[in-house]
Structures are given as C-alpha cells and as structure tokens.
Structure 1
Amino acid sequence: MTAQGPHVDSFMKKMPKTISHSRKTEVLQDTPKRIFIADEDPLICELIRYNLEADGFIVSVFNNADDALDADFTLYDLFLIDITMDGLSGIKVAQYLKQNKATSRTPLIFCASLSDESEVIDGLDNGADDYILKPFSMKELRSRINTLLHRNVY
C-alpha cells in the first residue's frame, strides 16, 4: 500500500490496457457536453453539478475512488478531478488518460485546495490541461471549462 491510499496500487491492474473509442469522433457543436467530476466533497460536487447542469452540461459525479475508476472514461468530454482525492492519484489518472488514444485529447482540469506551486507544476507536467485552486468561483470554473471545450473540437 502506498501513501496515496489502498486503491493506487491496484490502479493499473483495474484499468484496461486500451480504451476502445465507443462514440463518434466528431461531436456536434450543439450536443450537450459530458463532464466527469471526481471529488470527495459531496457539497462541492453538488454545487458544481447544479451550476453546470443549469448551463446545459451532463454531469457525472464520483465521490470515491472505486466509483471513479469503474467509470467508462470514453463517455466524457472533460474531466475535473481533485488531484489529492483519497485513494485516487490524480497524476496516475492523468497519465493513464493521456496515454490512451480514446481519451488522450479529452481535456483534464485538476482542482485542489493545495497552493503549493510544485503541485500545480507537477499536475500540468503530467497531463492536466488546467489547474484550479479551491475555493474557486463558478464563473471561473465555467470559463476554464468552456475555453478547453472550444479548443478541443475533435
């Protein structure tokens, strides 16, 4: 067992070697975008879900590592992951997503309450497209999400 939690050691065992791309690679502009959120704090998740669903997004929330790791990553247009979620190494998830053809271009935003510059740099260097520090405003989060989704027309 590592310092990150019991699930980190089994992370690579649980993940398939490759992800098959089960959806069309061309996404229509008016198709609602699907957002994957992994964060232990249910209040933060529900606040984010409420606001993003009001904006027309389809949001899936995962409050624990097991549920997050069981998700079909190919269904999502953007990932918002707490980098320090207990039992889930955000860095390992980012590396996994970026190494798989089906998810390598899907934007990833790390969120954390850490303000350590080295953590932010480590997250960005390991595949995150953006990093947002808690507490953040919904306006800022919406802006970051919309910017990444508009850049990532595939």
Structure 2
Amino acid sequence: MKRTKHFIGLGVVLLFISLLVACGSQSSKTASTSNDEKTVATSNTSKETITFDTPVVTDDAIESMRTYADYIDLYKKIFDDYFTKAEESFKGTAMENNESFTKLKESTQKLFDAQKKIYDLLGSTEIKEDDKSKLSQQLKDFRDNLQKQLKTLTSQLQ
C-alpha cells in the first residue's frame, strides 16, 4: 500500500516536472488569437491544417483508464501529439531546426522514460477510484496546458 502511494507520488512529481520543463521553454510573451487552426505549407502544391482544439486523447478516453499501464499510455499519446503538432507547426519557421526545442523534446522524453519505468512496475494494477480521479485530472490538465502552449507558440510565429 505504501509502495503504491510512493509510486503514485513519484509519478505525479515527474508529470509536473515534465510540464514545468515544457512550460519553461515558452517565451514570456503571450498572445491571444481567435483562430484555432494554423495552415502549414508542406509543399508547393499542398497544405496541411493543424487543429489545436481537437485533442488526440479525449476526456472520455482519460476517464475510461483502468490500470496504470492505461495511464502511462495516455500520457505518452498526449506527449507525442504535442510534439508532432509542434514540429508540423514549426515547419518553414525559425523554430523548425531549433536546438532548444530539440533539447526540450529529448529532456521530456527522458522524464517520460523515468516515469514509465515506475508505472511499468504497477502495470496492470487497477487504479483505485480516488487515485483515478486525481490522475485523470492531471492528464486533462497536462493535455490542455500543452495545447494552450502550442497555440501561443504558433501564434507568435505568425
């Protein structure tokens, strides 16, 4: 019991550290926009539209997690979605080959890998209802904060 709480606490700390790392690289300058999409030219003949308000991991998906393996899988999907959308948004801009963005991605991946090692020990263990609501909210906040950050970054590049 104490071991499970310790793992949960450590996982929560690592989640917040990764969120802080992601937020720490954001410029202090903020901008607001009513446009929720950015069109990125990917070639001379085609364009790709990136929609920031459509999360890859929905609230329903988060709330349906049952095990710690489900939790870490959802966390990974949120993480991957953020960096995929960021890389697509940065194409053709000064951020496309930005070393600090690459370092941020690498350091966040290392934090994720450390957290995954912890949660892999719990694997298919069912998440208790109290812990599930906390972890669900953390995932939602993590996802929403990354989406806001990405909107801000891309609006600053326009």
Range class of TM-score, shorter chain: under 0.3
More strand by share: 1
Name the structure with the higher helix share: 2
Larger RCO, structures 1/2 (Cα 8 Å, 6+ apart): 2
TM-score w.r.t. length of structure 2: 0.27
